[in-house]
Amino acid sequence: METKYNLKSPAVKRLMQEAQELSQATSEYHAQPVDDNLFEWHFSVRGPEDSDFEGGIYHGRIILPPEYPMKPPTIMLLTPNGRFEVSRKICLSISGHHPESWVPSWSIRTALLAIIGFMPSPGMGAIASLDYTKEERQKLAKKSHEFECPECGKVRHLLQEPSHSDDGKDADAVQAEAREIASQVIMKGEMNTDIPARETRVEEQPSSVDRVLTASNSQQYNYFIAAILVVVAVLLFRRFVSVPTD
């Protein structure tokens, strides 16, 4: 692989480093380049515990741009799962749909953990999102073990078996990290949706111009009342003055 790419390329250096770091499968995730193609990876993630996806193994594909890590990867799921559409680009802050949110320090591992953390979240109408029922997702989780990738083979053989030993503690730590990453990415996504609410609150507060106009109107109203009182007083005075005396 080294002779196939320009080793001076930042993307090649970074991806070769990540391929080495992810070379050993864990019980929660695994990812490697396909056929020595550094810019196309396949991955597998285990469904998060205590969710509709628990027990499932989900396989997917990552396409990395030549500008990686300065630009984000494109991510899609290949295994039917009930949360993301199959073979469609996932719309997340860590994916190609939101290059403005991408942070170059994020990695393929970050993307895998974000997917794990995002799976239990509601679709909210996002691109390529699904909101299947709990029963449908649980059925797909069991069926996911039968999925076979033309490139990687049966997905159930791609991850280590979970255990209750120290590896189990590591799995719990990975799940916790996945939830943390997902929450950070969600907050990034919600920053834009929070702007209208903030603008609404500002609009509800009267501006300085409004306050001046309000004060002016109030002053004009007081002048009007005073003028009426003066007119009434003059009329009453004339009436009393014109009354004949005996």
Backbone angles phi, psi at 15, to 5 degrees: -70, -35
* SS3 assignment, position 123: coil
Count Cα atoms within 13 angstroms, Cβ side, for 110.
Answer: 17
The angle formed by the CA atoms of residues 98, 99 and 102, to the nearest 5 degrees, is 95
Catalytic entry in 91, 127, 130, 159: 91
Q: At 242, which amino acid appears?
A: S
149 catalytic residue (yes or no): no
Q: Side-chain half-sphere of 104: how many Cα atoms within 13 Å? A: 8
Distance (Å, whole) CA 172 – CA 33? 26
Within 10 A of 158 (CB to CB), how many other CB atoms are there?
Answer: 20
Active site residues: 91
